[in-house]
Structure 1
């Protein structure tokens, strides 16, 4: 720096130096706030994109359930209720997922509307879990008996049976993973809160 610059800075009154420092701090704060807002916007956008992708995946899966079951309706004499289970399960999935998206789009901030929406979605989920248990019985009970040759008495179409078996098994795996994650979160929060309470 030159001597003139140093003289200039030294000649400024303290209030001017202080206001210059405060202006610099405000710029830093506004840049930080802008950065945080951009990050929040990015997170919100990613949540929306993931929700849409999940909705599309679940909708396609539910449509496949209905289509496969309708096409193979009489192709499982060993367990004739498996196609019925697939159709009902697919229709329930379509209704539940479409209802969740519609409720999210027309989200009302009133507590009563939110409570009604949550009750309806909870009811659909409870019915789906009960229907999953029924389908599990119908599918797993013939696991040792089922054959894929159409001229046999215990015949069931391979695509129909394997799709149903895989769908039910995957559902249980996802439920199990979700349950374990919830238990982990509860334990973590309880332990974390108790350690915080001890410290404070």
Structure 2
């Protein structure tokens, strides 16, 4: 931020907003991101008690979906201290870290519950290895899609890093030892 002649703060680039994105796009992004957690809560609630082989599987979907929705809801609340750029208070950072640690631990537990019973018995509900087919397949694919998403993000990050390394080697003003303009 720069100050004008009257001492008012003005953005360095005219026309830039304080917000990183348009509010409508932020809302649409969060609405799209909430579809899978809502589906997880619904499937977990509908099939509660329908997997005797692994009774915690519906709970995995219920708690994981609810926690993801709560996390999305908390991102809508202002959490800065009013400074520019906003600084998170230590308490906010601590709760956010604890929440993310819980989500990580819950995801690991869900991996154990989902992958340890593969493949369950789908046809005979009296069989002790029975698990409702829609419940199990939904939990399986939700868990697997998290790994697919992480893999795609890792490949994208490595690709960007590779491009930056190549650009640094090819552009004369980015050579080692040169001062950045």
TM (norm. structure 1) is: 0.66
Residue of structure 2 in register with 1:67 after alignment:
42
1:93 Cα deviation (Å)? 0.4
Structure 1 residues 125-164: aligned runs within 5 Å: 125-164=100-139
The CA deviation string for residues 13-69 of structure 1, in whole angstroms up to 9 with x for no partner, is xxxxxxxxxxxxxxxxxxxxxxx967x67x943xx4443222112323222222221
Q: Are 1:178 and 2:153 matched, yes or no? A: yes
Which of 148, 163, 168 lines up with 1:188 in the alignment? 163
- Unaligned segments of structure 1, at least 5 residues: 1-35
For the pair shown, which has the larger CA radius of gyration, 1 or 2? Answer: 1
Shift of 1:121: 3.6
Deviation at 1:70, TM superposition (A): 1.9
Q: Report what 2:175 is aligned to.
A: 197
Mapped partners of 1:75, 1:128: distance in 2: 24
1 or 2, which has the higher helix percentage? 1
Structure 2 counterpart SS, 1:101:
coil
**Which whole-Å CA distance do the structure 2 matches of 1:62 and 1:173 have between them?**
17
Alpha-carbon displacement from aligned partner over 1:97-154 (angstroms, at most 9, x marks no partner): 10112237x7843654266545544443332222112101110111133324323221
- CA gap of 1:126–1:176, structure 2 versus 1, over 3 A, is farther
Distance in 1, matches of 2:102 and 2:164, equals 30
Deviation at 1:190, TM superposition (A): 4.1
In structure 2, what is the equivalent of residue 52 of structure 1? Answer: 27
Give the root-mean-square deviation of aligned CA atoms: 2.9
The 5 Å alignment of 1:90-105 reads 90-103=65-78
Equivalent-residue separation in structure 2 for 1:167 and 1:107 (angstroms): 36
Q: Which 4+ runs in 1 deviate beyond 6 A?
A: none
**Aligned mates of 1:145, 1:101 — CA distance in 2:** 39
Aligned to 1:109: 83
Indicate if the aligned counterparts of 1:69 and 1:86 stay in contact, CA closer than 8 A: yes
CA contact (8 A) 1:103 1:117 kept: no
Under a length normalisation based on structure 2, what TM-score does the superposition of the two structures give? 0.71
Task: Assess, with a 3 A threshold, how the Cα gap between structure 1 residues 44 and 68 changes in structure 2: closer, same or farther.
Answer: closer
